[in-house]
Amino acid sequence: MNIINFHGQKYLAKDFIEFLRGKNALFLLSLSTTKTCEIPNITQAGIEGKIHLTPILDAEFLCSGEVRSIGDIAKTAKGVPTPALITRAIHLLKPFNNIELLNLGLTNSPKVNFFKIYDFKLKPSERIDLGANIEAETLFEMGVEFGKNYKTKSDYIILGESVPSGTTTAYATAKALGYNCDGMFSSSFKAHPKSLKNEVVNKALSNISSNMDIFEKLSKVSDNMLIFNAGFVMALMQNYKVVLAGGTQMASLLLVMNSIIEVMQGEIDGKNLALVTTKWLYEDENSDIKGLLELLNFDVLAYYSDFDFSDSQSEVLKLYDKGEAKEGVGAGGAIFYGYLNNLTKEQITKEVEGFFK
Amino acid sequence: MNIINFHGQKYLAKDFIEFLRGKNALFLLSLSTTKTCEIPNITQAGIEGKIHLTPILDAEFLCSGEVRSIGDIAKTAKGVPTPALITRAIHLLKPFNNIELLNLGLTNSPKVNFFKIYDFKLKPSERIDLGANIEAETLFEMGVEFGKNYKTKSDYIILGESVPSGTTTAYATAKALGYNCDGMFSSSFKAHPKSLKNEVVNKALSNISSNMDIFEKLSKVSDNMLIFNAGFVMALMQNYKVVLAGGTQMASLLLVMNSIIEVMQGEIDGKNLALVTTKWLYEDENSDIKGLLELLNFDVLAYYSDFDFSDSQSEVLKLYDKGEAKEGVGAGGAIFYGYLNNLTKEQITKEVEGFFK
């Protein structure tokens, strides 16, 4: 099997993917900008000085195959292209039933027609070292409300994200909620800028205190994607099977859900929920997705898609195998969907290579 | 064409399959155990002493690719593996829109998650030579009620079955209803245990008398699958196109419908209905599916899928071509669906062979 289960009950994990075999999926891409990404060297997910455009460009490329809000596709300083390429390749080979976009605070709206963009009239959140300034409780409730009313004809939902510097805010978020998660969060860099990241996170944590409630804490240290989606997913999974397509940011989202439900003295039945990531993220030595999931008080299934660029001749793509860029724009979840619809590693590799011709 | 029409109006038959070309299908597997299967040597559909597990294992394998309620996949004494292999192979190559299970009286529930199991709280029926002891009228009405309310998003429905010793109960059923059907019913054996089968059927028939009404007769000689599905299919075909995927048991089901509608002085419009079986069953010299269909007072389309293991090197699979095992778990209907979605004989053969590697 090219989809590898690494967390959750064995039979349940097997049957979850068997049940989704061949089924159609809605791909929902949640987009947001935290000004944390403006801190020099905090992320390589984009073009320096224009990193706030990354989610916009990712959305444009995923939907249309073109980047419209700037001349070139979002890539890192070393030239590692966005994982949106992988998600787009899957969509070309075996189209998602639909792609929809959640605008959770961007500088501009993605320039695409016809594709539904849910606009929640949010601004990019502030740098977490300066206090983020998010109305967390309202935002969480917006997510719940949206999830309750959300309808799709698709068999299941894949929820991805594009949030530059999102691993930093995800780390700060989990830590602020009291989880022992040092060293467990990923980075878009191979050479992990740990000291800088730790400095930013510690600065962020200095703005919270133990007498704050959970939403007050989130307001100071988190990002819009995590807070909105916590509410959204909790409501959505009552009605649909949901694949959280991402790495440590999605794990942080689960931890936010875990903490909120604890405060509310409720329970989460994770049966309709799975996290799916890439092999690069799963095997990353500088983060620990498995460890993060073990911090949860509820059961959740998790998998990685067994895909890499070992079959490719492309030097640019090989950078993925070397640990630069690992996950994003739901790449791991997209491959999962592709594999469940009989796409092969060879086909996917070829399709991604096609973007460079 | 690799789907061969052998009963019904020519243009109608052609257009029925043309209409279903490329469409998606729900695969519904009806499962039941009649204790008739405990009569020594009556069936080879399973592992001796554990034949009551066969429908459970078939369901588990179809859904998950694993047999969970026992160590090994259900196979005959000669080592002919269950036709569930074929249905599963089709599902892997071109997944059904959905698989759902009807528990019509099993010793245990199949161990699968997420897949819908409709549980009608029925027990395995008794040996027909001892009077079967089925509440036939109630069961038929349950089927009607279920069919009336049944909803699916799929384009059409393939209804298969796994009922060990089901050909014996199907024969007894048709004969009890007055049809001249001696020698027309199939067996899982090549070397047909005719004298034993006839003895059991004659014993069953000795428990009914001509003054009994149709449901009283069915209560004594039939099985849950036939009685429930008679009601279910009569209601279901009002709203959906239905493919009865099976051989002489499905023909007996049609005969039950035929007799009930006669008693009710109603009419059946068979336009939404087709029986689809395997080539092995169609060409079987020890049974006569065509003859059975000719006993009906309404029109129904029937086909066989032109598939065998002549391209395979596997000695085990070759046993099918030699007449051991012929049909079951909707194999013929599954191939029909595969062919209408452009699968080739070669692909299907390879996929089945893959299970033995």
Distance CA B223, CA B168 (A): 10
Residue A81: per-residue pLDDT = 81
Which residue has better confidence, A190 or B195?
Answer: B195
Instruction: Output the furthest CA–CA distance in chain B (Å, rounded).
Output: 57
> What token pair was written down for A221?
């240290």
Count CA atoms closer than 13 A to B292's CA, side-chain side: 32
Sign of the four-CA dihedral A172, A174, A175, A180: negative
Average pLDDT over every residue of B126-155: 97
Whether A100 contacts A115, CB under 8 Å: yes
Neighbours of B195 (CB within 10 A): 8
At A220, the pLDDT band (50, 70, 90 cuts) reads very high
Whether the predicted pLDDT of B187 surpasses 90: no
Whether the predicted pLDDT of A147 surpasses 70: yes
Residue B357: per-residue pLDDT = 78
Chain B residues touching residue A18 (CB < 8 angstroms): 63-65, 112, 114-115
Percent of all residues in chain A with a pLDDT value above 70, rounded to a whole number: 96
Strands A3-7 and A301-305: antiparallel
Whether A148 contacts A57, CB under 8 Å: no
Neighbours of B121 (CB within 10 A): 7
In this complex, how many residue pairs, one in chain A and one in chain B, have their CB atoms less than 8 Å apart? 40
At A170, the pLDDT band (50, 70, 90 cuts) reads very high
Residues 12-71 of A with CB under 8 A from B: 12, 14-16, 18-19, 21-23
Q: Give the residue on A whose Cα is nearest the Cα of B62.
A: A18
Residues 250-279 of A with CB under 8 A from B: 271
Q: Which of B65, B114, B153 sits opposite A19 (nearest CB)?
A: B114
Distance from CA of B87 to the nearest CA of A (A): 14
Residue B43: per-residue pLDDT = 84
Query: At a CB cut-off of 8 Å and minimum separation 6, what does A31 contact?
Result: A55, A56, A58, A59, A101, A102, A103, A104, A106, A110, A161, A162, A163, A225
Whether B136 contacts B311, CB under 8 Å: no
Instruction: Please tell me the total number of residues recorded for chain A in this structure.
Output: 357
Residue B135: per-residue pLDDT = 98
Identify the CATH number of the domain defined by range B3-354.
3.40.50.10210
Amino acid found at B118: Y
Query: At a CB cut-off of 8 Å and minimum separation 6, what does A282 contact?
Result: A4, A6, A289, A290, A304
Average pLDDT over every residue of A305-327: 92
Whether the predicted pLDDT of B299 surpasses 60: yes
> What token pair was written down for A78?
């070393």
Segments making up each domain of chain B, as ranges: 3-354
At A344, the pLDDT band (50, 70, 90 cuts) reads very high
Whether A29 contacts A62, CB under 8 Å: yes
Distance CA B302, CA B304 (A): 7
Quickly list DSSP for A12-25: HHHHHHHHHTT--E
Query: At a CB cut-off of 8 Å and minimum separation 6, what does B131 contact?
Result: B204, B207, B220
Whether the predicted pLDDT of A123 surpasses 80: yes
Residue A76: per-residue pLDDT = 57
At B1, the pLDDT band (50, 70, 90 cuts) reads confident
Strand stretches in A86-155, DSSP E: 98-103, 117-119
Q: Which residue, chain included where needed, has tokens 């079959």?
A: A311
Which residue has better confidence, A54 or B193?
Answer: A54
Distance CA A57, CA A67 (A): 5
> Which H or E run contains A139?
helix A136-149
Residue B41: per-residue pLDDT = 85
Centroid of chain to Cα A1: 24
Distance CA B272, CA A169 (A): 58
Q: How far is CA B2 from CA B84, B299, B303, B306, in A?
A: 21, 23, 10, 5
Across all residues in chain B, what is the average pLDDT? Answer: 94
Residue A71: per-residue pLDDT = 67
At B24, the pLDDT band (50, 70, 90 cuts) reads very high
Percent of all residues in chain B with a pLDDT value above 90, rounded to a whole number: 85
Whether the predicted pLDDT of B4 surpasses 90: yes
Whether the predicted pLDDT of A79 surpasses 90: no
- Listed range (A24-38, A207-221, B309-323) with the worst mean pLDDT: B309-323
Chain B residues touching residue A14 (CB < 8 angstroms): 64, 66
Distance CA A253, CA B323 (A): 57
**Selection from B188, B221, B226, B194 nearest residue B48 by Cα:** B188
- Listed range (A32-41, A78-87, A211-220, A344-353) with the worst mean pLDDT: A78-87
In tens, the pLDDT along A6-32 reads 999 999 999 999 999 999 999 999 999
Residue A73: per-residue pLDDT = 61
Can you tell me the ipTM of this complex?
0.90
Chain B residues touching residue A22 (CB < 8 angstroms): 91, 94-97
In tens, the pLDDT along B219-229 reads 999 999 999 99
Residue A201: per-residue pLDDT = 96
- Listed range (B14-23, B80-89, B173-182, B290-299) with the worst mean pLDDT: B80-89
Residue B191: per-residue pLDDT = 67
Chain A residues touching residue B97 (CB < 8 angstroms): 22-23
**Selection from B71, B75, B89, B69 nearest residue B27 by Cα:** B89
Q: Which residues pair with A30 in a beta bridge?
A: A102, A161
Across all residues in chain A, what is the average pLDDT? Answer: 94
Average pLDDT over every residue of A238-259: 98
Query: φ, ψ for residue B175 (rounded to 5)?
Result: -70, -40
Helices (H), A288-355: 289-293, 315-321, 331-340, 345-354
Percent of all residues in chain A with a pLDDT value above 90, rounded to a whole number: 85
Average pLDDT over every residue of B112-132: 97
Residue A47: per-residue pLDDT = 81
